[in-house]
A and B are shown apart, each in its own frame.
Chain A
């Protein structure tokens, strides 16, 4: 059963992800870029992300998103829920993310060795259970 330490992410962007779509808005490739490159692009200094052709970018078939949470980090929602990024991996040129949202009432009155049953399905990768034990996320 995989497990890892988790920590809270800040609210600022840490890296970018570039998405390139086909004509039907299906993602044909996606990949991470550095925070420095992300910041240069949104500042207007460097207009086209690396790995994207000018035609892809200017035709609207590509987008860039700045993300705050990296692997092993969680974000706290306004309602107190936790959005945990368990794992990022690349499959067939596309970034695949395993993540899970833990609702705030899941923690109330529970032991510190919390075990949750969740079912999320992201890009065919299903997480069927998640435990958080002393700050470590354990999932399968």
Chain B
């Protein structure tokens, strides 16, 4: 596989109440890459929204891949940028949140590069978990592709994962002594399940999507087979209220 991780950087808050933006530095090494930002926030009292992502102050090219909330505790989501014109070097990532009263905020910026141009394939329907300690999301993919999964959980700590961590720091646990965020990736296959193990069993949300390489050894056509995306695995419970 010619698609490779090209670094990560994390941002997080500590105290709570009213957080609206989260900013941290990410060093981008290649102009023609794909950047992923998995952002999340704990919402002690309802669903919120990730309203925008910028890099070096620009929102150009950023698109939401998925976002979901367990409607009682956390909101998580993933944004990507494949416009090929991101500035290189150390620049700031900013996630802006809207609605709700944000408590803990967290984000992970990841870059992926390939021998050829990278584009996006399918996106799994995200899954939510309120009591499970092995949250997961399953999607169909194909060989030669990369599946990137991300999680934001109130389960305090990520203690295990079944995929590969991107280079750098791709997980943070015990943010504000409360929540955790993580990104991992898998080689594409007919069915890929991104799964984590968490120390706690409160709310969480996880999602996944494909990266496709064009002209560098990967498949060049989008997977159009009729697999059902976003199969929930082991997440049939709701958090007590």
Q: Which residues of A contact B (CB under 8 A)?
A: 9, 11-13, 16-17, 19, 21, 25, 27, 30, 38, 41-45, 47-48, 57-58, 60, 62-69, 73, 75-81, 83, 85, 95-97, 99, 101, 103, 122-123
Contacts and interface: CB of A to CB of B under 8 A. Distances in A.
A30 B14 contact: yes
B195 interface: no
B45 A63 contact: no
B45 A101 contact: yes
Interface stretch (B96-104, B140-148, B198-206): B96-104
B46 interface: yes
Given A43-B57, A47-B90, A65-B22, 4 more contacts: A60-B10, A79-B46, A81-B44, A103-B45
Nearest to A77: B45
Interface centre among B20, B101, B175 (most CB of A within 10 A): B101
A83 B46 CA distance: 12
A65 B105 CA distance: 8
Nearest to B69: A78
A78 B47 contact: yes
A42 B21 contact: yes
Contacts of A103: 45
A133 B44 CA distance: 24
**Main secondary structure on chain B at its contact with chain A?**
strand
B18 interface: yes
Chain B interface category by residue count: 35 or more
B31 to A, nearest CB: 16
A123 B169 CA distance: 26
Given A58-B90, A78-B47, A64 B15 contact: no
Contacts of B46: 77-79, 81
A74 to B, nearest CB: 9
Contact of B14 (A27, A41, A83): A27
Contacts of A11: 20, 98
A35 to B, nearest CB: 11
Interface string B3-43: 00000011111111111111111110000000000000001
Given A75-B101, A81-B45, A101-B44, A60 B169 contact: yes
